[in-house]
Amino acid sequence: MLGEITAPLQQTLKTAIGCRGVGLHSGRRVAMNLLPAASGTGIVFRRIDTGVEILANWINAVESARCTALSDGEVTSVGTVEHLMAALAGTEIDNAIVELDGPEVPIMDGSAAPFVFLIECAGIVEQDAPRRAIEVLKSVSVVADGAMAVLSPDHRFSMSFEIDFESSLIRRQVKSVVVDVGAFKSELSRARTFGLLDEVSRLREAGLARGGSLDNVIVVNGDQVLNTGGLRYDDEFVRHKMLDAVGDLYLAGAPIIGHFRGVRSGHAHTRRLLAALFADPEAWGYTTPAPTFRPVVLDQPDVRARVRA
Ligand SMILES: [Zn+2]
């Protein structure tokens, strides 16, 4: 078979595409546009209502109740970036501008699937620079609040996650995935965010989850799911935690080559894990992802010419 072995190139969107939705915590209507960006840009959030741009990087991540938020260090922030970041990581978009006219990425259906759909509708194009990845060379870990998050060396991006809830419906769920484009889309992207009914009520009282509804959050009450239609996967809960981790880890600024293990961990653990990784120069290094085989697609006239010859 004709073809060539080439280093993967950076990718961006073929064209701009937008959507509208509601912010999970703010409850505000927000319009979002995803725009192509030059190689080397990374993922940049642009608040068109304030004119502020914030690079999607763990350095700019701030502690926020129940979501991952980015801040410019002053007054402007962008909340609930994790599901969109997961979709961008999972579809291997290296460079994009995310325009928002409000303080929070729309929650859509609570999963990353609507963002994957948008990206696929816009199309993906290769750019003129090789993709850069971050290779984990040494294990780093964060242990806090009865939870643990670990990054360790692997020749690809893989993940295992364990959750353990008192809820009789959720209980203990364990899952492992090699996170490539296909597995992200089929195994993780459709898993929705979730909450226990009494917890959702508490969040509401605290002024959070104002945009939350059964259209975008799985609400669990005892051993029941309140959403009509039930679950999308039997173990949707652990899959959503993995989706969150894929999004949070993309704040490394490049794809990670290594294994992530989460045990009951959340956004804050993953952020602290990235801080621990980058604090140790021996724990990581930039690398080029494994070369891919690119078949040469012959167009019809060439094929006919070859056959006649
Ligand atoms: Zn989430």
Ligand 1 centroid distance, CA of 298 (Å): 43
Long-range contacts of 47-56 (CB under 8 A, 24+ apart): 47/76, 47/78, 47/100, 47/101, 47/102, 47/103, 48/99, 48/100, 48/101, 49/100, 49/101, 49/102, 50/76, 52/76, 54/78, 55/253, 56/81, 56/85, 56/98, 56/250, 56/251, 56/253
Mean pLDDT of 95-122: 97
Ligand 1 centroid distance, CA of 32 (Å): 18
Ligand 1 centroid distance, CA of 191 (Å): 9
Residue 58's SS3 state is helix
User: pLDDT class for 308, splitting at 50, 70, 90?
Assistant: very low
Ligand 1 centroid distance, CA of 82 (Å): 6
Specify the pTM. 0.92
Ligand 1 centroid distance, CA of 193 (Å): 5
How high is the pLDDT of residue 200? 80
Residue 126 amino acid letter: E
The residues whose Cβ lies within 5 A of ligand 1, an ion, are: 193, 244
Q: Residues 246-297: pLDDT tens digits?
A: 999 999 999 999 999 999 999 999 999 999 999 999 999 999 887 766 666 5
Ligand 1 centroid distance, CA of 240 (Å): 6
Ligand 1 centroid distance, CA of 196 (Å): 14
Identify the CA nearest to 194 among candidates 219, 222, 177, 176.
Answer: 219
Catalytic residues: 267
Whether pLDDT at 14 is above 70: yes
Ligand 1 centroid distance, CA of 285 (Å): 28
Mean pLDDT of 23-45: 95
